[in-house]
Amino acid sequence: MGIPEARFDTPFNIARLSHATLYVRDLARSRRFYADTLGLLVTAETPDAIYLRGFEERNHHSLVLVQSESPAVGHLGYKVHREGDLERLEAFLDHEGRPTTWVDLPFQDLTLRTIDPQGIPIEFYHRMDRVPTELQRYAKQRGGKLQRIDHFNCFTNDLDGSLEFYHRLGFRTTEYTVKDGTDTLLSAWLQRRGTTHDLAFALGAGPRLHHVAFWVANPLNIIDLLDLMATTGYQSNIERGPGRHGISNAFFLYVRDPDGHRVEIFNGDYSAIDHDHEPLRWQFSDPLRSCLWGPPAPRSWIEEGSIFLGQETHPPKTGADVPTSVAA
């Protein structure tokens, strides 16, 4: 199967990705990692949860940490443009045979939850509590100086099915990888807001979250974060990078939190606003695809991911002979 056609006529309008929920075993330990080291701002906290955001963001949160006995991922969140989009999304999901639930959540209006066809829990909302941007309050900025959430990257056991579903939601593919000499899709990058991606998928045992990514203003923020992590007890949490992906042109660093959840610190992608943007095609064996500078990814980065709470993981439908291709 090739890349599905872009859909510009959906009755609803998904604006962008918004937030992720991670289940962690020790909130205080995770707070030290995400707030004191990476530099996210704590907007609110309870005995069971911490709400964080990048210092540019005006939504209440883009990351929620929840106390749990074991690590997992909750829902991946998306914001819609209009309140009526939620009802139209519900009708679309009912037609697709997807389960839907309305929930009340702290700091955001009524939220529509579902599970995509490959088992990823997702939620949609229209309004979240607003907070003042801290963009120019430089005294508050520390650690990696993360400005805003940028994208999700997930393993899916059925990449063709994932692309079909999200294209019907109005996402568009910007870049993709195929198995050498074939049209077999191995990975794809999809967007809603005119950047390289809000969401990426890789064929592999899934569903699992490969990483959640945060954007920084320049590569020096990543270098400063590396210096900080290397001298404050987090050297072993540095998994891959710094480097530059061929796919998306991103300057990247991948780190693992104390529970093994992967976070990408990200800078340097390009605009993909035009509706006639042609998706860029990559062969899996192209060494520039994953890193323009050549060093291969460690095995942990290729194989490991975080499970979604309550969801079973399944092997890829295409077959075990298909190489796994993630993130870039």
**Statement to judge: residues 151 and 211 lie in one domain:** yes
Task: Please give the pLDDT value at position 320.
Answer: 47
**Statement to judge: residues 112 and 162 lie in one domain:** no
**Statement to judge: residues 80 and 193 lie in one domain:** no
Alpha-carbon torsion (34, 67, 29, 236), positive or negative: negative
Are residues 173 and 188 in contact, defined by beta-carbon separation less than 8 angstroms?
yes
**Statement to judge: residues 75 and 201 lie in one domain:** no
Task: Please give the pLDDT value at position 321.
Answer: 55
- Please tell me whether residue 66 adopts helix, strand or coil conformation: strand
Say if 203 falls within a structural domain: yes
- Rounded CA-CA distance 156/117 in Å is 10
Residue among 133, 131, 79 nearest 109 (CA): 79
Task: Please give the pLDDT value at position 325.
Answer: 47
CATH code: domain of residue 236 = 3.10.180.10
Chain centroid to CA 105: 21
- Rounded CA-CA distance 248/328 in Å is 8
Task: Please give the pLDDT value at position 2.
Answer: 84
- Rounded CA-CA distance 89/87 in Å is 5
Say if 1 falls within a structural domain: no
State the pairing for strand pair 251-256/121-125. Answer: unpaired
- Rounded CA-CA distance 219/241 in Å is 12
pTM: 0.96
**Statement to judge: residues 164 and 121 lie in one domain:** no
Task: Please give the pLDDT value at position 218.
Answer: 94
**148, two tokens:** 């805003």
**Statement to judge: residues 150 and 258 lie in one domain:** yes
- Rounded CA-CA distance 71/176 in Å is 30
Say if 320 falls within a structural domain: no
**Statement to judge: residues 124 and 150 lie in one domain:** no
User: Looking at the 3D structure of the chain, how many domains does it have?
Assistant: 2
Domain assignment of residue 214, given as a range = 141-307
Say if 202 falls within a structural domain: yes
Say if 295 falls within a structural domain: yes
**Statement to judge: residues 224 and 292 lie in one domain:** yes
Q: Return per-residue pLDDT of the chain as tens, 328 residues.
A: 689 999 999 999 999 999 999 999 999 999 999 999 999 999 999 999 999 999 999 999 999 999 999 999 999 999 999 999 999 999 999 999 999 999 999 999 999 999 999 999 999 999 999 999 999 998 888 899 999 999 999 999 999 999 999 999 999 999 999 999 899 999 999 999 999 999 999 999 999 999 999 999 999 999 999 999 999 999 999 999 999 999 999 999 999 999 999 999 999 999 999 988 899 999 999 988 989 887 889 999 999 999 999 999 999 986 545 555 454 5
**Statement to judge: residues 128 and 21 lie in one domain:** yes
Strands laid side by side in the 14-24 sheet: 41-45, 49-53, 63-67, 14-24, 72-80, 121-125, 108-115, 100-105
Alpha-carbon torsion (86, 87, 88, 94), positive or negative: positive
Say if 127 falls within a structural domain: yes
Say if 250 falls within a structural domain: yes
**Statement to judge: residues 179 and 240 lie in one domain:** yes
Say if 315 falls within a structural domain: no
**Statement to judge: residues 192 and 250 lie in one domain:** yes
Task: Please give the pLDDT value at position 95.
Answer: 97
**Statement to judge: residues 225 and 181 lie in one domain:** yes
